[in-house]
Amino acid sequence: MEHFAIIQALCRAAMADASPAVRKQVERLRDALLKDGESKHAATLTGLLTTADRTKEISPSRIERSKSQILGEALTRNAPIPVDRETAAALAEVIFPADIQPSAPLFNATVSQAIGTIIDEWANFEALSEIDIRPSKTCLIYGAPGTGKTRLALWIAQQLDLPVVLVKLDGLVSSFLGTTARNIGNLFAFANRHRCVLLLDEFDAIAKVRDDPQEVGEIKRVVNALLQNLDVRRDVGFTIGITNHPKLLDSAVWRRFEVQLEIPKPDFEMRKAIAAHFMPPVKAPDSHLRLIAWFTEGSTGAEIESLVRTYKKATTVRDEDKRGLLDTLRQFATLNAARVQSERRALLFDDPANLFRAMRNDPILDFSMTDIGEIAGKDKSTVSRQLGRQVGRSTDEVSNG
């Protein structure tokens, strides 16, 4: 076989870090060669496949390598979580990798790439340190409520196979006030003692209290205690901060985070992908997913998730109670009035023919008559007729006027 040397080199390179899909293709090639009687070449590929398996078993996973770089005891389910001495309320929640949803939240290519870089950096801590690069251990994630920040932080920890010490600062700030900085100290001491990711959620809670004139001195003390603890922690373990209001954060807090990751609201394609992600086990036609994405412009992942939930409920009830996508969207638009673009909301409650025409003419939706039929629950020709009649009527109106 001509050029087999190149094919072999290609397969070897691909198998160095192969995804299941790549592996499958190499297996396919091997089987095809075998079928064509090229048994020698097929055997070479079988050799490549087994070598790849063996290397995988021997070399420690990226994750195990990263673990060795985080000092401290393993965090177990019976480790005593620090509590507020007066109220006995726990100051943190510990979440283990096994309890975190394994599917990655969905972001556009730029954000996904940035996240990939952060994980790779943390996973290759040792190698990078060897060439004198100190990977960043602090990351601030910011963006609108419901864009998937908390879910992302938990997922990152799961990728590193580390438990999360989750601190919700909004619920905790009051427990910091009035008491000594003891609670903050205890929390950080607990996180620093164990191998974990420290997740400081709702970081802006600190900033919000700062505006309260009665608490000025007190909150300054709390912020200072936080900053000092963050400085110490920088050399010990990973910390992720999350905020909805980056502008409220003190520049001193801001500077403490080496990586600052903004999570944007999803664009059309991402909204469609998020809708598709939450749809199973219900199967929605592509036209429905596109229409959902179209109506949720400016919405967050959390809002799309809730719309999809309503859609799923509406499609799985008894036949006589079934509601179509348009009814579901109308309900969403009514309950989320400020979130749906006013023009699109008006269309939903307008004459269906106007809505269908807008859907047909929209360059992003680019709907065919069949798509519109799927949305309206009517066949293509009925929709065409309806639209045609409407077009005819408006032409008459124009000529009469």
Per-residue binding letters, 141-160, with Mg ion (x by CB under 5 A): ---------x----------
State yes or no: residue 302 binds ligand ATP (CB under 6 A). yes
Which of Mg ion, ligand ATP, none does residue 135 bind to, with CB < 5 to 8 Å depending on kind?
none
Residue closer to ligand ATP by CB (options 149, 195) is 149
φ and ψ of 334, to 5 deg:
-75, -40
Nearer to Mg ion, 204 or 371 (CB): 204
Structure tokens at 191: 């996180």
DSSP class of residue 148 equals S
Length of the chain: 401
Are the beta carbons of 202 and 210 closer than 8 angstroms? Answer: no
In angstroms, give the least distance from the CB of 329 to ligand ATP.
Answer: 19
DSSP codes of every residue in 352-378: HHHHHHHHHH-TTT---HHHHHHHHTS
Q: Select the span of 141-149, 206-214, 317-325, 360-368 touching ligand ATP (CB under 6 A).
A: 141-149
Residue 244 contact, options Mg ion, ligand ATP, none, Cβ 5-8 Å cut-off depending on partner type: ligand ATP
* Of 161, 215, 305, 327, the one binding ligand ATP by CB under 6 A: 305
For position 150 contacting ligand ATP by CB under 6 A, the verdict is: yes
* CA pseudo-torsion sign 224, 230, 233, 234: negative
Stretch that binds ligand ATP, among 37-45, 72-80, 128-136, 140-148 (CB under 6 A): 140-148
**Site pattern 100..139 for Mg ion (x: CB under 5 A):** ----------------------------------------
**CB nearer ligand ATP, residue 244 or residue 331:** 244
By CB under 6 A, residue 298 contacts ligand ATP: no
Rounded to 10°, the helix 4-15/39-58 angle is: 20
* C-alpha 139, offset from chain centre: 16
Single residue of 12, 62, 67, 151 touching ligand ATP by CB under 6 A? 151
Contact call for residue 105 and ligand ATP (CB under 6 A): yes
State the minimum distance, in angstroms, from the CB of residue 141 to Mg ion.
9
By CB under 6 A, tell whether 272 contacts ligand ATP: no
Is the four-CA dihedral 12, 15, 17, 22 of positive or negative sign? positive
Q: Is 242 helix (H, G, I), strand (E, B) or coil?
A: strand
Q: How many CB atoms lie within 10 A of CB 159?
A: 22
**Which residue do the tokens 């007066």 mark?**
86
In terms of phi and psi (left: phi > 0; alpha: psi -120 to 50; beta: otherwise), the region of 340 is: beta
Q: How far is the CB of 130 from Mg ion (least distance, A)?
A: 36
Residue-wise DSSP of 204-218: HHHHHHHT-GGGHHH
> Of the candidates 60, 116, 145, 298, which one interacts with ligand ATP according to CB under 6 A?
145
Interface with ligand ATP: number of residues (CB under 6 A): 18
Q: Rounded distance, CA 46 to CA 35, Å?
A: 14
Q: Are 155 and 100 in contact (CB under 8 A)?
A: yes
Applying CB under 6 A, which residues contact ligand ATP?
105-107, 145-151, 244, 266, 274, 277, 300-302, 305
Q: Interface residues with Mg ion (CB under 5 A)?
A: 150
